[in-house]
A and B are shown apart, each in its own frame.
Chain A
């Protein structure tokens, strides 16, 4: 079984925080194998925790996506919780007043627009500005650390759902990503490495229990398709929120499920099959309306290209009905189209609208992606072996 950074820290590295006041940036998905959460585990180990910091969805993990979260009080230990997903997103001097070291223990899911890594980067920045140490307790990238996909964020398109310098699917653990980014920030950073994690591992190889990282991220099958299917957030279709299969399905009342599934299956996309589906969200877009669309089945995850497949599905939906399909005009993260902020560039949307093929579109960032793969090499902590 893989041992997480938290596990190793408690077992072997407690001296790092001896006599120090510790701020904990974490959430309910950061757990030990017996399901104890990071806060309880560290308190039991005698760590002097003085403040908690919560990411999107809040420290307790129940808030909806993109909902601003306020400061509050933790119920078990009476500790103050500072929200890093409210008006202030980078910890400031006031929040860090009673803190010497910040411990970050967040379970990420390996996709750039999932915001825990943005919070981690902001923590590095806030810590550097205020001369606080940062210790990152590493955790697995649940969709493995091998494949990288998608474009980088273009200048001017950085946002809370798009940090610069990495592609959509970066294939890094949160610890590796911290080292990669901190090269420029220069915070006093220590990464507590996992034991026995290998790059080719998917989360179900680790032997660890999965705790939902957010309300729409219940299972590994969700994360597997998320790097591509989340793009539907930037369209006027349902991405399956308000159903029990978020991101594994997409659709709209005006789609024909049979034609869509047939068109996609005829593409013979590597590692994926599509099943026609009819569904009715109980909330969110098209609440209580019957939608038609597809469910994505990943038949070979090792070669499945999640981001590329997402683009194919978006394209196929648009081609079925160009009048009804639209990209949303703006995002909760700013005035730019949400799709562009997710992808990191307006080019993909523009070229889809111009009728270009996904293969053509992807050519544009092929070199950039290769450059990233080379650049990330020196920050990799875990072995590149494909088998273990």
Chain B
């Protein structure tokens, strides 16, 4: 079984925190293998916690996506909880007053637009400005550390769902990303990463032996994270990605979509190019599409019956969720031109530029778009090399 940074800290490195006042940036998904929370585990280990910091969804994990969160007091420990997803996103001098070291322990899902890495970026900056140490307790990238996919961010398209120009699926742990960001953007925080034991880059989360805890309300299962990098792109068009159902990011649809038609088209996708390219591409899909009808109980199209597809992963080693996401957007636009609508700004900040949208509008193939993405991703892959902590 893999040992997380939190476990390694508690079993071997507590002396690092002796005599220090410790702030903890965390959320409910940061647990020990027996499901004890990071806060409880550290308190039990007699770490002198003086403040807690919560990301998007809050320290309790119940808040909806994008909902601003205020400061509170933790009812059980009596510790102040400062929100890093409210008025401020970077911890201020005042928030760090009673703290010598900031511990960062969050379970990420390996995707640029999932905001925990944005919070990490701001924590490093706030700590550097206020001369506080940062210790990142590393955790697995649930969708492996080998795949790198997707374009970087063009100037002007930075946002909290894209703070730095890295590929959408970066294939790094948050510990590795902390080292990368701290060096590349000359943040200059005094940073240490407590590495995991036993984690290998090729591991999926279910290879680690660790229990999965929902990282946010719409990522209930590890299975959700496999397609999330691609299906989330559909949040930039007027379809439901299954929020308000029990299958978020495994399904998509809208009241004006015919699920049978969409599934048939997606399963039989005509791919341009040489036979070899076509075969590669077909393999890249690694998925099958099944027509479904569903009724979200909240969020987009609440209480309306939607037609759409469930994406079944048949070969996760081969599947490219980003190709799947791009092809779905392209196909839905082609089949339903009069109903299809972009949320231009949202789609662009998710993909990191206006080019993916423009190429779909110009009826270019998803493969062509993906190919340009992968050229950029390959460059990043070389750049990230010296920050990798695991084989």
Contacts and interface: CB of A to CB of B under 8 A. Distances in A.
A19 to B, nearest CB: 29
Given A62-B305, A283-B244, A297-B211, A245 B220 contact: yes
A385 interface: no
Nearest to B312: A209
Contacts of B82: none
B202 interface: no
A217 B246 CA distance: 8
A345 interface: no
Contact of B28 (A217, A246, A278): A278
B61 interface: yes
Interface string A282-317: 111001001000010100000000000000000000
B78 to A, nearest CB: 13
Nearest to B213: A275
Interface string B179-210: 00000000000000000000000000000000
Interface stretch (B136-144, B286-294, B356-364, B382-390): B286-294
Interface residues of B, number: 46
B279 interface: no
Nearest to B297: A283
Interface stretch (A27-35, A117-125, A162-170, A182-190): A27-35
B312 A35 contact: yes
Nearest to B306: A62
A80 interface: no
A211 interface: yes
A106 to B, nearest CB: 17
A62 B217 contact: no
B330 interface: no
Given A244-B246, A277-B28, A62 B293 contact: yes
A75 B257 CA distance: 13
Given A244-B214, A244-B248, A282-B298, A219 B62 contact: no
A231 B219 CA distance: 25
B221 interface: yes
Given A278-B62, A280-B64, 5 more contacts: A37-B291, A63-B295, A277-B28, A278-B61, A279-B217
B290 A31 contact: yes
A76 B293 CA distance: 14
A91 to B, nearest CB: 23
15 contacts: A35-B263, A60-B293, A209-B288, A244-B218, A274-B35, A275-B31, A277-B61, A278-B60, A279-B217, A280-B217, A282-B244, A282-B299, A284-B297, A290-B60, A290-B62
A298 to B, nearest CB: 10
A215 B62 contact: no
Contacts of B218: 244
Per CB-CB distance, the 10 closest pairs between chain A and chain B, nearest first, are A282-B298, A283-B297, A62-B293, A244-B220, A278-B60, A218-B246, A278-B62, A35-B290, A275-B35, A60-B293
A346 interface: no
B6 to A, nearest CB: 15
A62 B295 contact: yes
A244 B220 CA distance: 6
Chain A: number of interface residues, binned into ranges: 35 or more
A127 B298 CA distance: 40
Nearest to A67: B295
Nearest to A76: B260
Contacts of B314: 209
Contacts of A61: 292-293
Interface in A206-240: 209, 211-212, 215-219, 221-222
B290 A211 contact: yes
Nearest to A40: B260
B44 to A, nearest CB: 13
A47 B84 CA distance: 61
Contacts of A277: 28, 61
A335 to B, nearest CB: 28
A62 B62 contact: no
Contact of A75 (B247, B260, B288, B312): B260
A212 B224 CA distance: 14
A62 B310 CA distance: 13
B94 interface: no
Given A244-B214, A275-B31, A211 B246 contact: no
Interface string A67-82: 0000000011000000
Contacts of A276: 37
Interface in A8-29: 28
Contacts of B35: 273-275, 297
Contact of B245 (A211, A215, A258, A297): A215
A213 B223 CA distance: 17
A243 interface: yes
Q: By CB atoms of chain A within 10 A, which of B260, B263, B298 has the most?
A: B298
Interface in B261-307: 263, 288-295, 297-299, 302, 305
B87 interface: no
Contacts of A31: 290
A112 to B, nearest CB: 22
Nearest to A291: B62
A129 B298 CA distance: 44
A57 to B, nearest CB: 10
A64 interface: yes
Contacts of A244: 214, 217-220, 224, 245-248
B372 to A, nearest CB: 32
Nearest to A209: B312
Contacts of B248: 244
A129 to B, nearest CB: 32
Most B CB atoms within 10 A — which of A28, A31, A212, A245? A212
Interface string A130-163: 0000000000000000000000000000000000
B297 A242 contact: yes
A279 B258 CA distance: 33
Nearest to A212: B247
Contacts of A280: 62-64, 217
B73 to A, nearest CB: 15
